[in-house]
Amino acid sequence: MSYLYVLFTILLTVYGQIVIKWQVLKAGALPQDALGKAHFILHLLLNFWVISAFLAALLASVTWMAAMTKLQLGHAYPFMSLAFVLVILLSNVFFGEAITALKVAGIVLVVLGLAIGSQG
């Protein structure tokens, strides 16, 4: 069950990143003037989807606490690097962001690091 909590933590974290990027893109460019910036940020903070991303972050913290009751931090935390991998893949799917050879190399290194770092 502890690994399920870790998985929920990862998925909730990734959800938040993807939703915030989606809503920021939808909102447009950040205005130059201070009042415009404040309005822009306030509009985002009151956005249903952004609020859901914040709630996902809160739930991710709760599921992480549950995982920490059974797993050692040094063993569980490397799994959080899967969020990096998922965000790269999903940013390609949803936003058309390029997956370059360097990103693929980074993903491979992350997965190898996870495989090594989570041992013992």
Q: What is the pLDDT of residues 31-75, one digit of tens each?
A: 999 999 999 999 999 999 999 999 999 999 999 999 999 999 988
| Nearest Cα to Cα of residue 6 among 91, 64, 58, 52 | 64
Residue 120's pLDDT is 61
User: pLDDT grade, residue 5 (50/70/90)?
Assistant: very high
Q: Distance (Å, rounded) from C-alpha 43 to C-alpha 14?
A: 22
pTM: 0.90
pLDDT at 109 over 70: yes
Structural domain containing residue 70 = 2-117
Number of domains in the chain: 1
Is residue 119 pLDDT above 90, yes or no? no
Confidence at residue 15, expressed as pLDDT on a 0 to 100 scale = 98
Specify the amino acid at residue 51. Answer: I
Rg (CA), the chain: 17
CB 80 within 8 A of CB 41: no
